[in-house]
Structure 1
Amino acid sequence: MSGAPALATEGRSGGERRKLLLPAVIFLLLALAPLAVHLGMPASWLPLLTRALIFAIAALSLDLILGVGGLVSFGHAAFLGIGAYATGIMITEGRSETLLILPVVLLACAVFGAVTGAVCLRTRGVAFIMITLAFGQMVYFLAQALSAYGGDDGLTLYERSTLLGIDLFASRSSFFYTVLASLAGCYLLVRAIVASRFGRVLRAARENPTRVSVTGFDVDRVRLIAYVLSGMIAGLAGFFLANHTEFVSPAFISWQRSGELIFMTVLGGVGSLHGAIIGAIAYLIAEDALSHLTEHWRVIFGPQIVLFVLFTRGGIVGMLKRAGGGR
């Protein structure tokens, strides 16, 4: 009889190792991307992959509340825009030090998430979607009204952030590895949150919030904390996006951008975390490839994404699991 628990424990350990294998392979392949450029891959691919990793951070943050918490936010790009604008404004005002910018970015996103989340989380379903959309559009129109910082035309940045006087973004490779390291850190953080007691409560609340409340947990509080953490991670993506594009625009905050983040998450596989990373990379690479074929690429790209999501269970991660013999 004593052998049965041991076998069960070994089975769980094997399952955990298999779950970690795909994320490990993803990060290993991404780490080799600059080497591939040196070996002949087009140099333009490195900035594209850097942009994809930035959006992967944003998609990962959305997956925390969408895939784990079951909260469909259609205003998540607001956090991306807040992070980008806070970065752009501070750089414009001569404050380019990352150790100054990042606390401001994270604090701004946390405050916005706490205030708006307290309102949004009073609702459920379609009402929640519409209120998050409304708050997102509010930030969008606020950005348009910032005439001192470009208004509707956007804000051009003439320098990038530095860290203790060191230009981390001086070269494409150093920028890429900085974003990749941040993505890996965010992934490990979110994974730890999901695996914790807090994450289990958040996941259970997605299935049956009434039952979770009866057991003594404050579902609204748990969801609000997750919403704020998600917004802060998306704000980090905004910080990188502003430095990458050297331009900040209200377009970063539009509801279309929020829709794209949802598409990325669903495309990769909702709730798998690393699926959000795969989805963001696949989305932006496909978008870039089609845009080089025709100026009407959206007419082709949109239906393809919709059909893929409709007829592919579990997104790209689900396809990979079935290909590997998993369920």
Structure 2
Amino acid sequence: MKAERIVNTSVVAALVLFPLWAWMTDAPFLITLATKAVIFALAGVGLNIALGIGGLVSLGHAAFFGLGGYAMGILASHAQAYDPIFNAPFVLEGTKSMPVIWLVAIISSGLAALAIGALSLRTSGVYFIMITLAFGQMLYYFSISWPAYGGEDGLSIYVRNSFPGMNTLDPIQYYVICVALLFAVLLFTSRLARAPFGLALGAARQSPLRVKTVGISPYKLQLVAFTISGMITGLAGALFADLNRFVSPTMFSWQLSGEIIVFILIGGTARLFGPVVGAIVFVLLEHLLGGLSEYWHIYLGLLLLLIVLFARGGLIGLLAGKERSHD
């Protein structure tokens, strides 16, 4: 456990120092790359609550990522709309305020996760995986057939949304916002895992029958965990859409759901910083190998294969030992 804390501290130091170095050397692209890794890490931390603590393998978590992104896109698009007669800006029900957009993204994703979880959790195993995939694909095809917000072409937002007291167009300032949210969610996840709810959820993963015998419903525990997981992933989706100033149906794709699972597997399932390490490795491989070949996923697959065979605790488990912890 002490070794894992050292690894976690090193990851935190890297998240703080690397962007500062990139800013001092005037390399805004590297800051944007780090921001992307942080947002993917946030999505992974969200899924890890359901997968790592609750044992729920969801292949449809991109549904919540996409809902968060479209919440941002829809609100921002209405805020930047123009009157066709007077050519003057006006606001419908839209907003450019990040805190408001985050709240809407979290609530909409949470409600969707509650509804999807309520149905999906009546199954288990491969059936649960497939029903979450089905819901994700339903939203994917719905977004394609929604011409009001770009349909298959997606929706562009020309100016990044605002945050009080900060210039969000400055890469380092937007990075600070994203990494602060990541640290806040990591702290929340750490407390959740050690709280009575987290301990009961872990027990329900290991032995649902024993949890039932003490009067606790595994279904309710898992539903709450799935809902919280969806809310955090929705927040990540809103941040990702703001980073790119663009939303598209690909945010709902099952491939993205698979990538979020890959983040967790690379870093270490049920490890607090597992998704963070996995997201960083994924973005680094995409950046370094993507320019060499469009088939760079082959190398990612080889890495994942080696981890599954020889380091089932992920990279953090390989470095820190075999104990599982959310400290």
TM-score normalised per structure 2? 0.90
Which residue is 2:193 aligned to? 194
Q: Could you tell me how far apart the structure 1 residues matched to 2:242 and 2:226 are?
A: 25
Which residue is 1:302 aligned to? 301
Q: Could you tell me how far apart the structure 1 residues matched to 2:234 and 2:24 are?
A: 34
Structure 1: stretches of 5+ with no match in the other structure? 1-14
Which residue is 1:169 aligned to? 168
Amino acid at match of 1:224: L
Which residue is 1:128 aligned to? 128
Q: How far off its partner does 1:35 sit?
A: 2.3
Q: Could you tell me how far apart the structure 2 residues matched to 1:270 and 1:299 are?
A: 22
Cα pair 1:118 1:224 within 8 Å, conserved: yes
Deviates more, 1:110-119 or 1:167-176: 167-176
Q: How far off its partner does 1:283 sit?
A: 1.0
Which residue is 1:282 aligned to? 281
Which residue is 1:5 aligned to? none
Number of equivalences: 307
Amino acid at match of 1:204: A
- Give the structure with the higher percent helix: 1
C-alpha distance after superposition, 1:134-155 (max 9, x if no partner): 0111111111111111101111
Which residue is 1:9 aligned to? none
Q: Could you tell me how far apart the structure 2 residues matched to 1:311 and 1:197 are?
A: 33
Which residue is 1:265 aligned to? 264
Which of 27, 30, 39 is residue 45 of structure 1 equivalent to? Answer: 30
Cα pair 2:98 2:163 within 8 Å, conserved: yes
Query: RMSD of aligned C-alpha atoms?
Result: 1.7
Amino acid at match of 2:130: M
Which residue is 1:3 aligned to? none
TM-score normalised per structure 1? 0.90
Cα pair 1:156 1:247 within 8 Å, conserved: yes
Pair 1:67-2:66 in alignment: no
Amino acid at match of 2:271: S
Which of 83, 87, 107 is residue 72 of structure 2 equivalent to? Answer: 87
Q: Could you tell me how far apart the structure 2 residues matched to 1:168 and 1:235 are?
A: 23
Pair 1:244-2:243 in alignment: yes
Q: How far off its partner does 1:168 sit?
A: 4.3
Cα pair 2:7 2:320 within 8 Å, conserved: no
C-alpha distance after superposition, 1:101-130 (max 9, x if no partner): 122111101110111110001011000000
The DSSP-based 3-state class of the residue aligned with 2:163 is: coil
Deviates more, 1:17-26 or 1:275-284: 17-26
Cα pair 1:86 1:104 within 8 Å, conserved: yes
Q: How far off its partner does 1:309 sit?
A: 2.7
User: What is the 5 A alignment of 1:164-243?
Assistant: 164=164, 166-243=165-242
Cα pair 2:166 2:173 within 8 Å, conserved: no
Cα pair 1:65 1:71 within 8 Å, conserved: yes
Cα pair 2:114 2:227 within 8 Å, conserved: yes
Q: Could you tell me how far apart the structure 2 residues matched to 1:35 and 1:267 are?
A: 26
Amino acid at match of 2:63: A
Pair 1:159-2:159 in alignment: yes
Q: Could you tell me how far apart the structure 2 residues matched to 1:124 and 1:262 are?
A: 18
